[in-house]
Amino acid sequence: MRRRLVAGLVALEVAGLGGALLLYRAMDRSQDFRYTMQKRFPSVLEVYYKSNEWSGVHGIRENDQMAWLSSKN
């Protein structure tokens, strides 16, 4: 019984990690998807920006803001 519970929890954790990775890749590849995330889940987009800044990748937030401002005009 305990072994099944642990296996289930591990599987759930792996599924969550896989989902987070897929979400990160989608945001990394598509500026349009990041715009959608900004409108629907701004806190998730903020985590994406912060994780990139912590890893030394800078300028994504600024590029997005410039593109979104120019598309409104």
Q: What is the pLDDT of residues 13-68, one digit of tens each?
A: 999 999 999 999 999 999 999 999 999 999 999 999 999 999 999 999 999 999 99
pTM comes to 0.81
Contact 23, 16 (CB under 8 A): no
Banded model confidence at residue 10, pLDDT cuts 50, 70, 90: very high
Residues with Cβ within 8 Å of residue 27, at least 6 apart in sequence: 33, 34, 37, 45, 48
- Which amino acid belongs to residue 56? G
